[in-house]
Amino acid sequence: METYSSLISAQKSFFRTGKTKDVAFRLNALQTLRNAIKQHEEELMQALRADLNKSEFEAYTTEIGFVLEELRYTISHLHSWVKPEKVKTPITHIGSSSYIYSDPYGVVLVIAPWNYPFQLAIAPLIGAIAAGNCAVMKPSELTPKTSEILEKLMSECFPEEYIAVVQGGVETSQGLLNEKFDYIFFTGSVPVGKIIMEAAAKNLIPVTLELGGKSPCIVHEDANLKIAAKRIAWGKYTNAGQTCIAPDYLYLHKNVRDEFLQQLKAAIVELYGSEPLDNPNFTRIVSVRHFERLSAFLNKGEVYVGGKTNPEKLAIEPTVLTEISWDDPIMQDEIFGPILPVLVYSELSEVIEGIHEHPKPLSLYIFSENNSIQEKVLNSVSFGGGCVNDTVYHFASPHLPFGGVGPSGIGSYHGKGSFDTFSHKKSILKQTTRFDIPFRYPNVKNGLKKIKMFMK
């Protein structure tokens, strides 16, 4: 197995020069990255088309435009984020003042998946640079064209001792995991997340794990069905369902089952046409293995909409499956494709129980016009984050740190959340030497009595 120790020690030496901590250096790096992305926009779109048949619209909104916005936001706020934060000081510490310094970890490893191969590699990198770190990025081997551009872009913008891209598959990842990074930021599947955490534990390396899981989408009987249908169709079928936060399955109230399904069918036709397999802009499935895994799900349940596949194009129609229960194969793991199974419920308690019996989801979506129904769901179930009366949109707000909980992930990022994730929060007490309060010392007369006046 290849070793990366010379790369890591070159980055560690560069980090120790202190250059990456300089705010002007960080801002310059972020601006350089932003310019390079704009300059290579066309090439990036072509790579995303070649790797996943992403349309220009999807490539821009979910990948390129997303990171440009993240860069713009970070550049305009970095000066205020880097300042040590002054916090309160208790009366027992009279004479001193207290601060929290945001300190870069050092050399960080970013491992990215294939589904948004550009965005999910660059968005963490923005946080790493903003916080003053060096970084090694390992993009996905399943999207080779995009990974190639990532490498080219980074080598044009930065010296390797600052930011490096290492391409390769599982072996490469494992080689990198043998190194003593100061932080590991991983986006990918739950099983690999466990491998990453185990490797990190050997050297006590802090981690962020952005994982996946089955994200429920609940449509209650009082929901605005037309709007719900359109927003769910969009959230589910964007990127052909290969989105970690896509609604994985639907919990549909029995009183609105038929009406909602009709609306959903209409929304699918409106967004993707009546023959989506002929739509040149519908994203394909990433690999034959995933195509076959997904196609097998079509053998169980009733196809309400869609159901057709094209093995040459690796394309699957936006599909809705009814007559599904928790025992069916499609309900065992994250689907990660354009197939939406529907469970029907009568009471909200069934929904809450059903979700409780499974691992904590990355996202949850509830469609209801009633505030108490919304709050009941939000307060009864543990999940990473989500939306009321929408899907996926919370991901794109720099004010909402994004991440899972437990089996769906550890930690969060985006906006200031990314800066915080890649910064160690170093608490500092600055003490006066003008006087020395004696109570803490063991030789003070009636010390215990006096200290009890403050510590009670």
Q: Which residues bind ligand NAD (CB under 6 A)?
A: 111-115, 120, 138, 140-141, 169-170, 173-174, 187-189, 192, 195, 210-212, 244, 334, 336, 362, 404, 409
State the DSSP code for 413.
Answer: B
Count of CB atoms within 10 A of residue 30's CB?
20
State the DSSP code for 62.
Answer: I
Shortest distance in whole angstroms from residue 24 CB to ligand NAD: 31
- Is residue 48 within 8 A of residue 59, CB to CB? The reply is yes
Cα–Cα distance measured from residue 235 to residue 275, given in angstroms and rounded to the nearest whole number: 19
Shortest distance in whole angstroms from residue 168 CB to ligand NAD: 7
Q: Which is nearer to ligand NAD, 197 or 344 (CB)?
A: 197
Shortest distance in whole angstroms from residue 190 CB to ligand NAD: 6
Q: Which is nearer to ligand NAD, 168 or 206 (CB)?
A: 168
Q: Which is nearer to ligand NAD, 186 or 251 (CB)?
A: 186
69 is catalytic: no
**H helix count then E strand count, the chain:** 16, 18
- CA 2 → CA 166, 173, 183, distances in Å? 11, 10, 20
Q: Which is nearer to ligand NAD, 61 or 349 (CB)?
A: 61
- Is residue 55 within 8 A of residue 281, CB to CB? The reply is yes
- Is residue 174 within 8 A of residue 150, CB to CB? The reply is no
Active-site position among 63, 70, 210, 317: 210
Shortest distance in whole angstroms from residue 210 CB to ligand NAD: 3
Cα–Cα distance measured from residue 153 to residue 444, given in angstroms and rounded to the nearest whole number: 65
Shortest distance in whole angstroms from residue 186 CB to ligand NAD: 7
Residue closest to ligand NAD, measured at CB: 212
Pull the structure tokens for residue 175: 């080689």
Amino acid letter at 129? I
Largest interatomic CA distance in the chain: 88
Shortest distance in whole angstroms from residue 411 CB to ligand NAD: 10
Closest alpha carbon to 342 in 437, 232, 267, 181: 232
Shortest distance in whole angstroms from residue 373 CB to ligand NAD: 27
Closest alpha carbon to 360 in 246, 219, 211, 258: 211
Shortest distance in whole angstroms from residue 424 CB to ligand NAD: 22
Q: Which is nearer to ligand NAD, 94 or 288 (CB)?
A: 288
Residue 217 pairs with which residues in a beta bridge? 250, 365
Cα–Cα distance measured from residue 122 to residue 152, given in angstroms and rounded to the nearest whole number: 13
Cα–Cα distance measured from residue 209 to residue 53, given in angstroms and rounded to the nearest whole number: 27
Q: Which is nearer to ligand NAD, 267 or 387 (CB)?
A: 387
Cα–Cα distance measured from residue 62 to residue 264, given in angstroms and rounded to the nearest whole number: 23
Q: Which residues contact 100 (CB under 8 A, 6 or more apart)?
A: 84, 85, 87, 425, 426, 427, 428
State the DSSP code for 283.
Answer: P
B/e letters for 133-150, b = 16+ CB within 10 Å, e = fewer, are bbbbbbbbebbbbbbbbb
Shortest distance in whole angstroms from residue 389 CB to ligand NAD: 22
- Is residue 392 within 8 A of residue 116, CB to CB? The reply is no
Q: Which is nearer to ligand NAD, 63 or 334 (CB)?
A: 334
Mode of pairing for the β-strands spanning 134-138 and 107-111: parallel
Q: Which is nearer to ligand NAD, 167 or 295 (CB)?
A: 167
Q: Which is nearer to ligand NAD, 235 or 404 (CB)?
A: 404
Residue whose pair of structure tokens reads 């990433």 in the numeric block: 286
HSE, CB side, 13 Å, CA atoms: give it for residue 202.
10
What is the set of active-site residues? 210
